[in-house]
Amino acid sequence: MSERAAGGKGTMSRFSLNQWTTKRWSVAEAVDGCVRHGVEAIGLWRQNVAEQGLDETVKLVADAGLRVSSLCRGGFLTSQDALDDNRRAIDEAAALNAACLVMVVGGLPGVAPGEPLGAFDRDLAGARERVAEALAVLAPYAGARGVRLALEPLHPVYCADRAVLSTLGQALDLAEPYPAEQVGVVVDTFHIWWDPQVLAQIARAGDRIASYQVCDFLHPLPADVLLGRGVMGDGVIDFAPLTRAVAEAGYTGDIEVEIFNADVWAADPDEVLTRVRTRFGELIEV
């Protein structure tokens, strides 16, 4: 943890900017934005890191004294030949000293987001088994490099095309064979707010919580459901019970704001960062 982070005692010291919230910004621009706005942590995306260059990104975040709250993302384990790319993702997360590598495990083999169905495999139980098998290979690899995998259950609306991992309970079942520092879970309000078991499962998660991500669930959803993530307060989620449960489970790490939203992406990134920090103060870290 950087000196700056360790010394950060002011309001919102746990706020982290997931860089896709300000999607127009490159890594360098997002790091600069964090510094200008007094943000202490950032969530990075692999493709943006690749564009900036891994070594340069490592230097940028170190010079800025930023914590890397997560690297997004490994996963898509239900596809063939996913292991090599995931090993690379783990190596990148190690280089960045990221608190975790977010794992979006993938959907039914052959089903692509946004594309019409072609040849694909309907065997959902089989796809879930394949995730467990890939995890058995990757968890020790990550552990040996000091990287924590963070299994992210996605909203069931993405089960076919993005993640056959649909609930926090299912993620914890998958993580159970591994040490908590090797395999944790992501609690993302957008994905889990509806789950009747969510508070019990957050309590069960305890020190497996590797990342707490916040954004709202819009209503009505836009045509592209991926972009249904709203600024906190703009949707239907009651954040207080979720945030309280995460705190009671013992999580004290960064809280990432991650918003995929056409209007947010069209707006000025500085204005967006100001807005999400204000809402964060009102609704999350109150």
Residue 19, both tokens: 């860089």
Question: 214 pairs with which residues across the strands?
Answer: 257
**β-strands 216-217, 229-230 pairing:** antiparallel
Cβ proximity to its own copies: between 108 and 138 the closer is: 108
Enumerate long-range contacts of 227-230, CB under 8 Å, 24 or more apart. 227/260, 227/261, 227/262, 228/190, 228/260, 228/261, 229/190, 229/258, 229/259, 229/260, 229/261, 230/259, 230/261
Cβ proximity to its own copies: between 70 and 166 the closer is: 166
Please report whether residue 223 would count as binding its own copies according to CB under 8 A. Answer: yes
Cβ proximity to its own copies: between 71 and 218 the closer is: 218
> What is the rounded CA–CA span in Å between residue 191 and residue 228?
11
Q: Which stretch binds its own copies (CB under 8 A): 33-41, 87-95, 165-173, 253-261?
A: 165-173
> What is the rounded CA–CA span in Å between residue 101 and residue 137?
15
> What is the rounded CA–CA span in Å between residue 73 and residue 53?
16
Site for its own copies in 227-286 (CB under 8 A): 235-238, 241
Where b means 16+ CB within 10 Å and e means fewer, 158-176 reads: bbbbbbbbbbbbbbbebbe
State the minimum distance, in angstroms, from the CB of residue 200 to its own copies: 12
3-state secondary structure of 228: coil
Please report whether residue 166 would count as binding its own copies according to CB under 8 A. Answer: yes
Please report whether residue 178 would count as binding its own copies according to CB under 8 A. Answer: no
The residue within the footprint of its own copies, chosen from 9, 10, 84, 125 (CB under 8 A), is 125
Cβ proximity to its own copies: between 68 and 103 the closer is: 103
Q: Which stretch binds its own copies (CB under 8 A): 3-11, 35-43, 66-74, 114-122?
A: 114-122
Q: Which stretch binds its own copies (CB under 8 A): 38-46, 86-94, 136-144, 160-168?
A: 160-168
* Binding region for its own copies (CB under 8 A): 108, 111, 113-117, 120, 122-125, 128, 155-157, 159-161, 166-167, 169-170, 193-197, 217, 219-221, 223, 225, 235-238, 241
